[in-house]
Chain A
Amino acid sequence: MKPARFDYMAPSTLSEALGLLESVPGAKVIAGGQSLGPMLNLRLVQPQLIVDISRIPEMSAVEDDGDCTVYGACVTHAAIEDGRAADGTGGVLARVASGIAYRAVRTRGTIGGSLAHADPAADWLSALTALGAEITAADGKQERRIPIEALMTGVFETAIGSAELLTGVRVPKLSANARFGYYKICRKTGEFAEAIGVALQDPERGRYRGVVGATEGSPIVLDDLPSLKAGTEADPGELRERLKGHGMDDPYEIQLHAVALERAIQEALA
């Protein structure tokens, strides 16, 4: 399959990019192209215009903003994996980045592109939900912040408007004694996850969050998990009940996701 015909623009400023999105309805944004490329080839999307934001300098910037590190949307997974981007999480982001797909994908794929694509099985969505990140977005008129829990409105759907651009992500720094666990069940190295479990224990900030990802929608957030608070093993029965409470009904899905979270908790507490 080859893409249907489209126009391609690579503006060098954010305002130009936003102007294009405003003026051409249905225009698609490309950053690393690791998801959009195949979708174009399969003709699942046939935009009139593709706006390449990878040449806008601030889109690749990484800034320290006190409590947060702010990543431009075009920071690549590889830059995070390699430690070329500042990391206020004590290596958590680098660890997650290193497990995304294959190195070739990580070299081009971007943190903002992954979030904007909103594939439930993607790593950043689950990992950054556990960390309590905030998305920054802009259109021609204003900038706003969206809590990551509110980003995804459905599979491959987000709260980002059609003339709006996901510009970056603000990741809160972790306390020195925070503990983190991440467990991904993949049928094959580099493949999208069948289930993701993330556990964060950050007593200084009072955060005891479990996240279950690679579901059929947004990641499931389980706050104030007793096991993370008490530093004890998770109660398998309780986790399964909570997943059912979030609408999961296939015993296989419940099993896989519960185990992923159990193992993430184990890792965090180990």
Chain B
Amino acid sequence: MQKQGIGKSVPRKEDDRYLRGKGQFVGDIRLDGMVEAAFVRSPLAHARIKAIDIPERLRGQVYTMDDLEGVKPIVASSALPGYKPSRQWPLARGKVRQVGELIAVCIAPTRAQAEDIAAEIEVDLEELPAVVDMLKGRQPDAPLLHEEFGDNLYLVSSVAGDIAPAAKRADVTVTREIRTARQCMAPMEGRGVVAEWHERLGQLTLWTSTQMPHIVRNGLCDVLGLEQRQVRVVPPDVGGGFGYKGILLPEEICLGWLAMHLGKPVRWLEDRREHLTANANCREHHYVITGYATRDGKLLGVEAEASVDSGAYSIYPFSACLEAGQVATNLPAVYDFESYRADAYAVATNKPPILPYRGVARTGVCFAIELLVDALAREIGMEPHEFRQRNLVRPEQMPFENIAKKYLDSGDYPTCLEKAVKSLDIETWRKRQKEGLPDGRRIGIGVAMYCEQAAHGTSVYAAWGVPMIPGFEQAGVRITPDGGVELRVGSHSHGQSHETTFAQIVNEMLGVPVDRVNLVHGDTEYTPYSTGTWGSRVMVMAGGAIAAACEELIPRILVIGAHLLQVPVGKVRFEDGAVVADGSRVTLSEVAHVWYLAPQNLPDNADDRGLETTKGYKLKRDTGTFSYATHAVAVAVDCQTGMLEVLDYVIVEDGGTLVNPMVVDGQILGGLAQGIGTAIYEEMPFDGQGQPLASTFSDYIVPGPTEVPDARIEHMETPSPLSRFGIKGVGEGGAIAPPAAIVNAVNDALAPLGAEITESPVTPRRLLSAIAAAQDGAGS
């Protein structure tokens, strides 16, 4: 039998249905008597609601918060000292705090009719001054979003440290103000919910496009006042998440309530305009960051003050602390230096709440630290990769607790960098750079590195104290009467290929062909509890749990197999899907047949728990696995038009043991595409009143096929000492480094002009303005 276990690039089982358009997403669900919902949303960023005028003839088709009797606000708190949680009513009560905030829900037989109704609802709003910029929001005279806070800060988190020794010894000090734009996550499928109340079961079923069905159930029960047994959450096929679907939505609550009170199923499908202008955003960071180094290239210290534009509400379950809280602890990344201090402010603004997007805070963090590292290298006059090489954590230091107390589990960062430098062939690019391109464009070379904490567990999240703390990850494995396997896992796939990769773990353990493994995932009715698919955790956690569950079945299989082979159990072993003794074997299918269909042939000592089990799994140490990578890129910069072209892109990454290298490559390339979006294209601008200015994809530009280069990927495989099989989480990594690598390359190209970019995305306007500013500066 062909090996399909760990390390094999088994083709994705999911692709057949996806590529034929046979996937089943929320939008494909149609139930008898189903009605459609559309929302009345706030046209203003900050206002007091004076009245909501519902014409008499529309009574019964329009609901406001006052109608949602018994429904509580969403509150995502945190145990971090000083954290202030917001109270977010599913439909606005008293005030609206962002454009697009839900005010009323309208139902009708079709979405178009529901929108007709929504257009008739008049909301009398008294406009309040809006906080649109996070830095202004921090000022003492700023208008308050949540009056009870007394300011606009959800949280200030710090890594305290003494920077004075570094400042004293430094030959070179560089300070930069760095910004990353607010983005929309833009999964191919938006959010969507179908809710139905089952009278017979006394149960609300919610089909929803989510990354964390069990957490959505927790939240729904809290807010709607239901018991867990009364709620079933089912994610069907989910078309991309990236963090956008890691949230309890006010829409989910409204639809749940409506289904219960109307007695008929209700559907809401987010449209692209709602996605872009009303629902959660990501990424908006601001830094003032200073680096201290010696003339010979030793990084001595880093000091940073960061702000995260956290938006109007603290989202459930991650809260408003996660993004900002990760900034301070992640900045040191792959470097070893002696002095560090950082403060990070999570600022409430009149914009949609911020959610952790693929890479969470690290994309901004990587951008800040890696731009700083390049600026230091330029200041010293050293090739940036050589400067990095002198300051990386060395393999002999592993496992290494860095200055921000991150426990880097394993890896060889210097080799990773060296491979990327060689693979891109920076030496040759430097020669070409001197000549320039025949069409006059400038060549730039950039490098960026990161490490990514993944699959971090109980202790980390208990310290955050957010409404979701991952514990043991469980998996259910059931061998079917014909020797196939049914797998039950509580996390869900929004594109990660779980149906394939989980089956590979089963294949590794039990020898069952991948095609004979079915995955039931996400559905709260049938799967063990899981916090879901986030934090690059699932292959590590669910993979470990599946292996543990399979392992637990093997002794039971051996007992039956030995009996069928008529040899003592001590003489048999499990091998390639069969119980094997000297010269004879009985297959798993035969063992399963006997257990289910011919129990008269079972031995007396057969294990009465049979051929199914649910088993939990935790890492040996739950501080997380650390995958890492170097991205190296050569770009051409057209200084006349401000346009960029990626000429070559190399990624050298170490994800520990890879279960399916092809799937990992897919993850990296998808992440790269999003990273290029962050670097060059994607930005959700707001005007001074907090109105979002990009309401369609013609204004919010995401990269397409011709904007994403054919990157070359090389793998290193340093197993994690902490996880089963040595797997490390890799799902998010691809999106972390591209903005830093590309902007470093742009700055490398612009250096002779004295121009520098410190803000993403690098739009033509930003690039030309930077060049013009440098020219003005030089001329004055």
User: Which A residues are closer than 8 A to B by beta carbons?
Assistant: 1-5, 38, 42-43, 185, 187-192, 194, 251-252, 255-256, 259-260
Contacts and interface: CB of A to CB of B under 8 A. Distances in A.
B150 interface: no
A198 B191 CA distance: 43
Judged by DSSP, the binding face of A is loop
Nearest to B767: A252
B273 A1 contact: yes
B131 to A, nearest CB: 28
B779 interface: no
Contacts of A3: 112
B640 A192 contact: no
Contact of A251 (B640, B641, B695, B772): B772
B696 A38 contact: yes
B768 interface: yes
Contacts of A260: 641
Interface in B70-105: none
B640 A187 contact: no
A256 B768 CA distance: 9
B397 interface: no
Given A189-B707, A191-B698, A259 B115 contact: no
Nearest to A121: B698
A252 B271 CA distance: 34
B703 interface: yes
A260 B764 CA distance: 13
B459 interface: no
A120 to B, nearest CB: 13
Nearest to B271: A1
B186 to A, nearest CB: 14
A252 B773 CA distance: 12
Contact of B640 (A1, A4, A194, A259): A259
B111 interface: yes
B112 A190 contact: no
A43 B273 CA distance: 12
B706 interface: yes
A35 to B, nearest CB: 10
A43 B706 CA distance: 31
B703 A188 contact: yes
A60 to B, nearest CB: 27
Contacts of B695: 42
B110 A2 contact: yes
Nearest to B38: A2
A188 B706 CA distance: 8
Given A259-B640, A259-B641, A188 B112 contact: no
Interface string B757-780: 000000111001100100000000
25 contacts: A2-B110, A4-B112, A4-B119, A5-B112, A5-B116, A38-B696, A42-B695, A42-B696, A43-B115, A185-B764, A187-B643, A187-B681, A188-B701, A188-B703, A188-B707, A189-B706, A252-B765, A252-B768, A255-B640, A255-B768, A256-B642, A256-B764, A256-B768, A259-B640, A260-B641
B60 interface: no
Top 7 nearest A-B pairs (CB, nearest first) are: A2-B112, A189-B706, A259-B640, A2-B111, A252-B765, A185-B641, A188-B701
B39 to A, nearest CB: 12
B704 interface: yes
Interface of B: 110-112, 115-116, 119, 271, 273, 640-643, 681, 695-696, 698, 701, 703-704, 706-707, 763-765, 768-769, 772
A190 B115 contact: no
A147 B642 CA distance: 35
A191 B768 CA distance: 20
A251 B768 CA distance: 10
Contact of B115 (A2, A38, A188, A252): A2
B469 to A, nearest CB: 39
Contacts of B642: 256
Contacts of A1: 115, 271, 273
A42 B110 CA distance: 16
Contact of B704 (A2, A43, A188, A255): A188
Q: Which residue, of B112, B703, B706, B772, has the highest number of chain A Cβ atoms within 10 A?
A: B112
B112 A187 contact: no
Contact of B701 (A38, A42, A187, A252): A187
Contacts of A187: 643, 681, 701, 763-764
Contacts of A4: 112, 115-116, 119
A185 B643 CA distance: 8
A194 B764 contact: yes
Contacts of A42: 273, 695-696
Nearest to A46: B119
Contacts of A252: 764-765, 768-769
A79 B704 CA distance: 25
Contacts of B640: 255, 259
Contacts of B681: 187-188
Nearest to B706: A189
A187 B704 CA distance: 11
B410 to A, nearest CB: 40
A240 to B, nearest CB: 12
A94 B94 CA distance: 58
A150 to B, nearest CB: 27
A45 to B, nearest CB: 14
A1 B643 CA distance: 33
B112 to A, nearest CB: 4
A191 B701 contact: yes
A189 B701 CA distance: 11
Contacts of B701: 187-188, 191
Q: Which residue, of A1, A185, A251, has the highest number of chain B Cβ atoms within 10 A?
A: A1
A189 B704 CA distance: 8
A42 B643 CA distance: 31
A38 B707 CA distance: 24
A192 B698 contact: yes
B764 to A, nearest CB: 7
A256 B698 contact: no
Contacts of A185: 641, 643, 764
A252 B643 CA distance: 13
A187 B701 CA distance: 8
A252 B763 CA distance: 12
Contacts of A251: 772
B124 to A, nearest CB: 22
A256 B641 contact: yes
B578 to A, nearest CB: 52
A251 B115 CA distance: 42
A185 B638 CA distance: 11
Nearest to A260: B641
A174 B769 CA distance: 40
Nearest to B703: A188
Contacts of A38: 696
Nearest to A191: B701
A63 B642 CA distance: 42
B418 to A, nearest CB: 34
A73 B768 CA distance: 39
A81 to B, nearest CB: 17
A3 B271 CA distance: 13
A14 to B, nearest CB: 31
Nearest to B705: A189
Contacts of A189: 704, 706-707
Given A1-B273, A185-B641, A190 B704 contact: yes
A256 B640 CA distance: 7
B113 to A, nearest CB: 9
A84 B174 CA distance: 61
Contacts of B765: 252
A255 B706 CA distance: 25
A4 B763 CA distance: 36
B268 to A, nearest CB: 13
A190 B698 CA distance: 10
Contacts of B768: 252, 255-256
Given A185-B764, A252-B764, A260-B641, 9 more contacts: A1-B273, A2-B111, A4-B119, A185-B641, A188-B681, A190-B704, A192-B698, A256-B642, A259-B641
